[in-house]
Amino acid sequence: MAEDSWIAVDAMGGDEGLAVMLAGVAQARRRNPGLRFLLVGDETAIRAGLQSHPNLTAASEVVHAPELVGSSDKPSQAIRRARTTSMGIAIDLVKKGRAAAAVSSGNTGALMAMAKLALRTMPGIDRPALAALLPSLGENDLVMLDLGANAECDARNLVQFAVMGAAYARAVLDLESPRVALLNIGTEDMKGIDSVRDAAAAIRASTHLPLTFTGYIEGDRLSRGEVDVVVCDGFSGNIALKTAEGTARFVADLLKRAFRSSVRSKIGFLISKPATDLLRHHLDPNNHNGAIFLGLNGLVVKSHGGANAAGVSNAIEVAAKLVRNNLTHRIAEDLAAIEAKAA
């Protein structure tokens, strides 16, 4: 990444407030001294907040935005205020080329709608998809998409998601021909719904794609490290993602209860605390924060609304990594190559 890569940050989005956003940006800056930031939001509040972050102040410019997008604003409402809200202005900075990427912890639906309207989808892509890296037992993380941008998808959307997901895995995970699977409720050909079956047939028929199609995958094998990219509609993808988060927390809670169940297990807990701390670190959603809208002419990263400073910092580092890997360009190249081969 060029030394002067700028990242636009919607400083007002997220449930945790401006102070957490700034602390997160400051943390990312400490770990990546080459980064520079356009902090978008209420100028007075941001300048006041920056007082505690001299290191960040030196690497930032403040871009004033008089308004913000609320967490319950409808996408249609948000779009009308694209020019005055911190989210809309952060995206616009990417459109104008002043920032290499935008990061927001705000309302997902509004972010998706605004980003799509301002940046437009790439040629060959009908709808952008929300993708993220999830932990797995394999050698690399798992790319999963769509995680909630499109509640309903047809086969054509799913095929495009497969191509974009594979490009993402090639760029970020350095895999030559990522193993791609479609999420389904069985592994036999006849299982599932039409859109998934039709997408499988289309991907199988497209032997020129730079990916290795492995067929269907069920929810219980997502984290086994057997595939690199999992493709699904945004409804089931969001449910799978959140169920995985909830289950990890559930197991951790049960473990806590179990450790408290006797003096003996309390002692065992204290002795093995470094091990369980490692586990907690591995499972903390903040350490996997930062989902990206794939398929747009520009990088927009969605940070979890409830992310803490470490989570915000991770989302910014995801953005920085994608800028460094020139993701948008590489997806466009893949799409062009596919079109050329298909022609």
- Give min distance, CB of 32 to a copy of itself, in A: 28
Q: Please report, as ranges, the residues that interact with a copy of itself according to CB under 8 A.
A: 72, 74, 135-137, 148, 151-152, 183, 185, 188, 190, 192-193, 218-224, 232, 234-236, 238-255, 258-259, 261-262, 264-265, 267-276, 278-279, 282-283
- Give min distance, CB of 269 to a copy of itself, in A: 6
Picking from 147, 181, 151, the residue whose alpha carbon sits closest to that of residue 166 is 181
- Give min distance, CB of 141 to a copy of itself, in A: 13
Distances (CA, A) of 275 to 141, 279, 288: 21, 6, 19
Which residue, 131 or 183, has its beta carbon nearer to a copy of itself? 183
Helix segments in the chain, DSSP class H = 18-31, 43-50, 54-57, 75-80, 86-95, 108-119, 155-173, 194-205, 234-259, 263-271, 273-283, 309-324, 327-342
62 in Cβ contact with 46 (< 8 Å): yes
CA gap 49, 46 in Å, rounded: 5
- b/e code 256-267 from CB counts within 10 Å (16+ = b): eeebeeeeeeee
Which residue, 101 or 241, has its beta carbon nearer to a copy of itself? 241
Which residue, 43 or 154, has its beta carbon nearer to a copy of itself? 154
- DSSP β-bridge partners for residue 7: 37, 101
Which residue, 165 or 234, has its beta carbon nearer to a copy of itself? 234
Which residue, 71 or 297, has its beta carbon nearer to a copy of itself? 71
CA gap 16, 1 in Å, rounded: 30
Picking from 260, 262, 255, 246, the residue whose alpha carbon sits closest to that of residue 277 is 255
Which residue, 136 or 328, has its beta carbon nearer to a copy of itself? 136
Which residue, 234 or 295, has its beta carbon nearer to a copy of itself? 234
Which residue, 52 or 243, has its beta carbon nearer to a copy of itself? 243
Structure tokens, 208: 């020129």
- DSSP β-bridge partners for residue 284: none
- Give min distance, CB of 119 to a copy of itself, in A: 23
Name the burial class of residue 72, with classes exposed (0-12), middle (13-18) and buried (19+) by CB atoms within 10 angstroms of its CB: exposed
- Give min distance, CB of 242 to a copy of itself, in A: 3
- Give min distance, CB of 36 to a copy of itself, in A: 34
- Give min distance, CB of 77 to a copy of itself, in A: 11
- Give min distance, CB of 21 to a copy of itself, in A: 22
121 in Cβ contact with 128 (< 8 Å): yes
Task: For 164, list phi and psi in degrees, rounded to 5.
Answer: -70, -40
